[in-house]
Amino acid sequence: MAPSFIKLLLAATSATVALALTPVEELAKNVHVPVGLIVDVINAPDYSKIDIGEWAGLLEQPVEAVKAWPDDVKAYVLAELSTEVSVAIAPRDERRELVARAATIRAVERQLLSVHNARIQSGRNGCFQNVPCGTCVVAAGFAGTSGIAGCIGAAFAAIGGTVGTATPIVVSAAIECGAKVAGVTTAAIGACHSAL
């Protein structure tokens, strides 16, 4: 039986704990987004006020496509990004609450397991004792999770436009999309080890 998404996030969070705290500025720099964008997604009381098009690059989706997503899909994806960022930067005591809130994606466990395994491998070889390597791995993991969330958002938007007959095709495409993102993320985490 594959571990649940919550177990994966708990394990990924333990890797982040080794760094104590990833500064927002470092995370933003490593995933190539403005600091203000990350601050906005963490602090947003209403995700409808955030321009999801600014996240399109990290979601690995075309700007026009993410802007066309239904509001509930946009809110879902932005909530996942907010949770992932919060887990990476939050003090340890607050992480437990955030991780429990993050247990929403079930269909992409294999992709997340791939990312998780790469993070664990990083921890085993001493990467997290080296701050540049550790922050690189956290950022690569966040970028990967964001890309997978983009795949899920695109799938939800596509399913919403059908009467259910195309659902299996859309789900297959989402899993394929997530697998590609997970592969790229695993390679990126491997590249982080050059900082050792």
**Span 2-16, pLDDT tens digits:** 344 444 444 444 444
pLDDT tens for residues 43-58? 888 888 889 899 988 8
Helix (H) or strand (E) holding 133, with range, is helix 131-160
In this predicted structure, the answer to whether residue 132 has a pLDDT above a threshold of 80 is: yes
Which residue would you say has higher pLDDT here, 91 or 172? 172
- Cα separation, 128 vs 92, whole angstroms: 16
Which residue would you say has higher pLDDT here, 38 or 117? 38
What confidence category does residue 196 fall into, taking pLDDT thresholds of 50, 70 and 90? low
- Cα separation, 21 vs 150, whole angstroms: 25
- Whether the full predicted model's pTM is greater than 0.95, yes or no, is no
Mean pLDDT of 123-147: 80
- Cα separation, 140 vs 119, whole angstroms: 9
Region of 173 please: left (phi>0), alpha (psi -120 to 50) or beta: alpha
pLDDT tens for residues 13-42? 444 444 444 678 888 888 888 888 888 888
